[in-house]
Amino acid sequence: MKEKESGMALPMVLWTIALLAGIVVLLVGVLDGWISEETRSGKIFQARQQALSGIAVAMVPTIKPGDPILQHSTEGGAEGYSVVIKDESGLINPNAWLGVTPDRRDLFQKLFTAWGLDMNQCAAAADGLYDWQSPNPFRSLHGAKQPEYEAAGKSGLPPGAPFVSPEEMSLVLGFEPVKHAKADWITYFTTYSGTNGINILYAPKEILKDLLNISDSQADAWITLRNGKDGIEGTEDDFNGKPPADIPSTMRLMGLRNIPSDLAAVFNVAPWGSIRRIESTGYCNGVKHRITIVTSEGTLLGWSEQ
């Protein structure tokens, strides 16, 4: 009997050892994951602190684009920030296209077509944007008014007023395909600049390509020319100190001669303005955090983080 009990004891001991070993491995894995998560959280916090430092520096009125103080890193380069200052007037103000008579929904459709949407999706998105800001109670052919928003569980919409921020565009019924087709769609738009058109002297490459239907090389050549020798937007050597005076001369510099007048009218030529977009990217041991603000003469107009 004792031999039988001793024979059963060995497998029990081995099984217990295996169980304990499994628990130890599990605990090690859990602890390792927890430590890794805590470490990453710490890095994110530090990266955000660095980004905030960059924002504080760029907000100083005397700091101009290209100032060396906009780039900072600790010894060894593990932490730091990089700040870019842009002119907000180079972006698209949706209210400028929708609040005129006749409206320019065709420009939204042109833009969305360049992003891969089909005809019906373009029409629904453009009409939806128009109906959102129009005080008229009647629905556009492919748009949406209060009954459609009520049916979608969005009571109290649309407001029948101009967009107050680009983020608000994402609430428009019919806009969902745009968000799926173009993940960074929001970087094209602003509601903070004037409504007199897109400043072609500071419009981003993507806007130039999608609206003017130009190639990468054409857009790059134009940006190289306008940024001057230092390659930085908004400095004194832009266009070697001699910026074009109007849209026709600008188009000639870009090598464009057959742009329809109604499309050319979407753009304007204006000097560096007072509304600045500050993009500060902080980093810590491979982890990055970006803060973007829009400011005008010390007044904060917009804030976003990613």
The pLDDT of residue 37 is 58
Which pLDDT belongs to residue 263?
A: 85
In the DSSP assignment, the letter for residue 116 is T
Domain boundaries, the chain: 94-189
Which helix (H) or strand (E) segment holds residue 292: the answer is strand 287-296
pLDDT at 8: 58
In this structure, are residues 213 and 110 in contact, taking their beta carbons and an 8 Å threshold? no
CA distance 63 to 186: 27
Amino acid identity for residue 22 in this structure: G
pLDDT at position 14 over 70? no
Q: Give the number of other Cβ atoms within 10 Å of residue 210's Cβ.
A: 20
The answer regarding whether domain 94-189 maps to CATH 3.30.70.3270 reads no
Region 130-139: mean pLDDT is 96
> Does 33 score more than 60 pLDDT?
no
Q: Which tens digits make up the pLDDT trace of 208-253?
A: 999 999 999 999 999 999 999 999 999 999 988 888 999 999 999 9
**Is residue 168 over pLDDT 60?**
yes
| Strand pairing report for 267-268 and 198-199 | parallel
Query: Buried b / exposed e across 56-75, counting CB within 10 Å, b at 16+?
Result: ebbeeeeeebbbeebebeee
Whether residue 193 is predicted with pLDDT greater than 90 in this model: the reply is no
**pLDDT band at 267; cut points 50, 70, 90:** very high
Return the half-sphere exposure (C-beta side, CA atoms, 13 A cut-off) of residue 182.
20
pLDDT (average), residues 249-262: 87
N residues, the chain: 306
Q: What is the mean pLDDT of residues 264-271?
A: 91
CA distance 112 to 181: 9
* Beta-bridge partner residues of 81: 72, 282
Mean pLDDT value of segment 271-297: 94
Give the pTM. Answer: 0.84
Q: What's the pLDDT band for 277 if we cut at 50, 70, 90?
A: very high
Question: For 43-67, what is each residue's pLDDT tens digit?
Answer: 899 999 999 999 999 999 899 999 9
Q: Which whole number is the average pLDDT over 267-290?
A: 93
The pLDDT-based confidence of 287 (bands split at 50, 70, 90) is very high
pLDDT over 80 at 30, yes or no: no
Lowest-pLDDT range of 12-16, 145-149, 153-157, 167-171: 12-16
Helix 105-114, helix 119-133: angle, nearest 10: 140
- Judged against a pLDDT cut of 60, whether residue 1 lies above it is answered with no
Among 223, 204, 187, smallest CA distance to 267 is for: 204
Which residue would you say has higher pLDDT here, 111 or 264? 111
**56: Cβ contacts below 8 Å, ≥ 6 apart:** none
253 backbone dihedrals φ, ψ, rounded to 5°: -60, -30
Q: How far apart are CA 208 and CA 229, in angstroms?
A: 21
* DSSP string over 60-114: STT--TT-GGGEEE-TTSSEEEEEEEEEGGGSB-HHHHHSSSS--HHHHHHHHHH
Tokens at 223, concatenated: 């940006």
